[in-house]
Chain A
């Protein structure tokens, strides 16, 4: 999965587990930033339905000078209240509005905007903002879309914001890929041969908790401009999300005490970076560190383990990849520094020499009128790895890249294996994955009443 249970420690702390981060240019000179947490929610998980952690500081970061350190941070802090202490129920009747007295356990949140780029800094830009309830079912949340829409708010500086449960936008054939690297299109060619079959989306019908914020581009660039030239270095910003917990925790009867500085326990920039590239023994360290320190993980990008495994798992299918022993300068660029000018006509998202795992978004590239799920390798400059959109098929794109599809960016004489263009995650065509036409774009969460279907 992109980062749903990608490291040993955070897999035991789902409330703080960052699953996916998205950043893309939306309408009206704005960037939509989405960070998802709380992975693999079964929609029927009541009566204690899913919620953000009051003791977690959730953050979305923007680097606008290429040093891998945050220049703008939006921090979200939550407060849970129980309105009726005498019931075990999440709701005692239909929840038809956000202040419904029938809703027993609800969350509000504050948003802090922390600037470190010389412009006016730390401020509370939103307070007591409501989360919608979880999507319980047709009797409890009969008009869920209206509840969610009512939870879209505007911050002090004009940003739109939303925090609450959503359908997971990510899709992956997890059961296959971690069953010794099975790629469904090539099952019959695996060293342990099986009949070919269709991909299975392991996250189909599961929910996450989403932080979404739509920010004017001028709030993100280092000079406050709205760049129109994609080749300008002012046009590229780095984005990642994280979660922090306080250093000390003590459980005392029913109370939970915390104190001390905030310590990062989860982060996510590029999808699958920690999951697929970083060795198991390093994953927790990666989650606790800042992108500016990612040079120490660059060796795992330069010589990705998966690129060595594919020719062994599929004998004869990836001969050119098997002979590719040089450092993967293509992956180092895509994931750690951005793609410099001159490699792709009309495009760059280079942020400088500092190696840092961030989504790199060129804000001067307008949204595509006909988005291609394969993003840049599909000829769509508005898609991953130019930031990341909800529709981008991150697993297929990255599998193909690791298998050699992007190596010609740095070595034009290299010919990717013919099988590379056939690699598919195989889970893209899920008719249940529906995105909204307006902010927060990510889809309505599945309700437990019908999921899993009988």
Chain B
């Protein structure tokens, strides 16, 4: 059982956004690949085929200082570090 329960997740008060941050299709492999792409390329990354994303995607900033982000899509999640992404999300909320 994951340490992060649904209740903790919802009460964390983190930045949570429903929207595409990368072109992915549902599934852990594609999600991990997308996460690596996001982590490595920042604003300069090439935008892929966003229409491939089917269904909601949630982004949970678990630790803004380290840039730890969890992305949830379909029945999977992936965690990676991307401070640039967190900064971008933060700017979008201001």
Contact = CB atoms under 8 A, between A and B. Distances in A.
A174 interface: no
Interface stretch (B34-42, B61-69, B73-81, B83-91): B73-81
Contacts of B27: none
Interface in A265-298: 265, 284, 288-290, 293
B93 interface: no
Given A250-B58, A252-B18, A265 B1 contact: no
A247 interface: yes
Interface stretch (A116-124, A254-262, A340-348, A415-423): A254-262
Nearest to A258: B56
A180 interface: no
A396 interface: no
Interface in A134-180: none
Nearest to A250: B18
Nearest to B77: A260
A214 B74 CA distance: 32
B94 to A, nearest CB: 21
Contact of B6 (A250, A263, A289, A290): A263
Contact of B57 (A259, A263, A290): A259
Interface in A1-43: 9
Contacts of A249: 6, 10
Interface in A233-267: 245-250, 252, 257-265
Interface size of A as a range: 20 to 34
A293 B3 CA distance: 13
Interface in A64-96: none
Nearest to A8: B7
Contacts of B18: 250, 252, 257
A260 B75 contact: yes
A258 B76 CA distance: 11
Contacts of B74: 259
Contacts of A250: 16, 18, 56, 58
B2 interface: yes
Q: Which 10 A-B pairs have the closest CB atoms?
A: A260-B72, A257-B56, A248-B58, A259-B72, A263-B6, A248-B72, A260-B77, A259-B56, A259-B58, A288-B5
Interface of A: 9, 245-250, 252, 257-265, 284, 288-290, 293
13 contacts: A245-B6, A246-B6, A247-B9, A248-B6, A248-B10, A248-B60, A249-B10, A260-B77, A261-B77, A262-B75, A263-B6, A264-B1, A265-B6
